A and B are shown apart, each in its own frame.
Chain A
């Protein structure tokens, strides 16, 4: 049984007429990397800000390491945050930014100790030797790392990350995903990341919490969410899926595009498929490692199929307008609530 480092208990937050967060219960385990995933306005950032202490819940309690911290201001909470646009102090050097948290302690650590701590923290994020620079002289990726070092130097119970990669370009983002994951393992600090980017959430987290309109819809490992979403919303938000009406009212059948087999004719489809239909190729998008087809079938309507490169050895490639056969095994189809 792992101990919860930070918990939301029946937390609601109201801004005037708007309910931003509705009766949420969330428990983050020590040492885990948890992401809160959802579209903008789903309450994920508000949840994070209530943990940091920038907002106080309208109802419910926030616990950090078993202590009720509801109403405790941000500066007295043992958590630190990496802000979306880093919020580095422009009038301070990189090293002074990094040691800012340590310098707030009383008694203030001696300057030799501060210097050593700054060196160590900057080394950890691979920015050794840049301590004397100004923050605005650094690239976006470097600023990001300064923000990480500035937060982690305080050894927070939880590191809160608010869309930390949103401001970086694509390639840097991919690089930082690995780096964040490694950093989290190295320092052993609990990470709580908020993002609207499902790829970001899935790639780095131990667990993902999907939010919608202020409520938590599902919490689970990335694989669980992907393979066993509990609603159409989650299946749609986490990865891509095809939704076919039925079998009963208020439900849909979800089939992931990569679970659909493709062949020139129905006879050439593998054995043991639960569903097989003839279809016509509407679009074809060559991505490199796979090809994405949009198909239309009389019975099921339009749907997507992702065909890995290796498949093409067996079934060949298809042109727009080709008649093909598509099908899937029974375990590929999931019946979900249509919401």
Chain B
């Protein structure tokens, strides 16, 4: 018998703080939200107990917010990953080890200023006196960037790149460089080595980074608020509107529940897919 077996009591005590926190901060609010979503709006705004599916049946009224979120969040995540990968690869493989820490810190540099400041900077850059003015100067006129999906995507890539690079960097850094030599030795060109060895083995890092960015982007409201300017709005913006402006709490609750469900299902299938790629056959054999 192992002498290190913990008694159930100790295990319980160790898990208690996290358990209590999650219960009061996550489970309970979710349950409250679920209950609210079946209720009715009070005349002066807020919540009146009831049991109706009207809020859920009414979801298509906010279809645009769902559509924007469900297209721009995955697209933004994909773009961020595609741009982050070469950066991480460069850091992990090409940069001499003594410079790596410095470079990684520089990747994080945008976080040193406030998020709001950064979005205001982008408003200037993308606004009519920014890039479009420059483009007009070389003859490309009538370019609108601010308050378009493109602006939101640019903001997403810019804002979330620092979250995407580190996990990919870590998985590339861990990658045994002898595997790359072995691949070359067996006749694979650098390009084939990348597709057959480097990319599959760094997939866990890409998955972690993508998950992180995707979840944050799905729930984001500041980014569409500033760079989408109310024209390109996300579910987050719809929620702010429903809870704080029209004070339709039950409908807002239904939208929230829908968002949670969509997020959960997407993440679940994404993780299954990615883990399946890297781990499934191992599990199947045990």
- Chain A residues close to B by CB (< 8 Å): 52-54, 73-76, 79-81, 83, 85, 87-91, 93, 100-101, 104-105, 133-134, 137, 150-151, 154
A80, B186: Cβ atoms under 8 Å? yes
Residue of B184, B201, B281, B285 touching A75 (CB-CB under 8 A): B184
Residue of B192, B193, B201, B282 touching A134 (CB-CB under 8 A): B282
- In B183-221, the 8 Å CB interface with A consists of 183-190, 192-193, 196-197, 200-201
User: Which residues of A lie under 8 Å from residue B54 when comparing CB positions?
Assistant: none
Residue of A74, A89, A105, A134 touching B185 (CB-CB under 8 A): A74
With known contacts A81-B182, A85-B178, A104–B200 Cβ distance under 8 A: no
B181 lies within 8 A of chain A by Cβ: yes
With known contacts A104-B192, A133-B285, A134-B285, A150–B186 Cβ distance under 8 A: yes
B285, A137: Cβ atoms under 8 Å? yes
With known contacts A89-B197, A91-B201, A134-B282, A104–B178 Cβ distance under 8 A: no
Q: Which of B185, B201, B278, B281 has the most CB of A within 10 A?
A: B185
Q: How far is the CA of A152 from the CA of B183 in the complex (A)?
A: 14
Q: What does the 1/0 interface line of B161-180 toward A look like (CB < 8 Å)?
A: 00000000000000010110
Q: Say what secondary structure dominates the interface of chain B.
A: helix
Q: How far is the CA of A100 from the CA of B193 in the complex (A)?
A: 11
- In B232-286, the 8 Å CB interface with A consists of 278, 281-282, 285
User: Which residues of B lie under 8 Å from residue A85 when comparing CB positions?
Assistant: 178
A54, B181: Cβ atoms under 8 Å? yes
A80, B179: Cβ atoms under 8 Å? no
Q: How far is the CA of A76 from the CA of B186 in the complex (A)?
A: 9
User: Which residues of B lie under 8 Å from residue A76 when comparing CB positions?
Assistant: 187
B178, A83: Cβ atoms under 8 Å? yes
Q: How far is the CA of A80 from the CA of B192 in the complex (A)?
A: 17
Q: How far is the CA of A76 from the CA of B185 in the complex (A)?
A: 8
User: Which residues of B lie under 8 Å from residue A104 when comparing CB positions?
Assistant: 186-189, 192
Residue of A54, A89, A101, A137 touching B187 (CB-CB under 8 A): A101
Q: How far is the CA of A54 from the CA of B182 in the complex (A)?
A: 10
CB A112 to nearest CB in B, in angstroms, measures: 21
Q: Which of B176, B186, B196 has the most CB of A within 10 A?
A: B186
A134, B181: Cβ atoms under 8 Å? no
B176, A87: Cβ atoms under 8 Å? yes
B184, A73: Cβ atoms under 8 Å? yes
A81, B281: Cβ atoms under 8 Å? no
B186, A87: Cβ atoms under 8 Å? no
Q: List 30 A-B contacts (CB under 8 A).
A: A52-B181, A53-B184, A54-B184, A73-B184, A74-B181, A75-B185, A75-B186, A75-B190, A79-B185, A80-B185, A80-B186, A83-B181, A85-B178, A87-B176, A87-B181, A87-B182, A89-B179, A89-B183, A89-B197, A93-B281, A100-B186, A100-B188, A101-B187, A104-B187, A104-B188, A104-B189, A105-B187, A133-B285, A134-B281, A134-B285
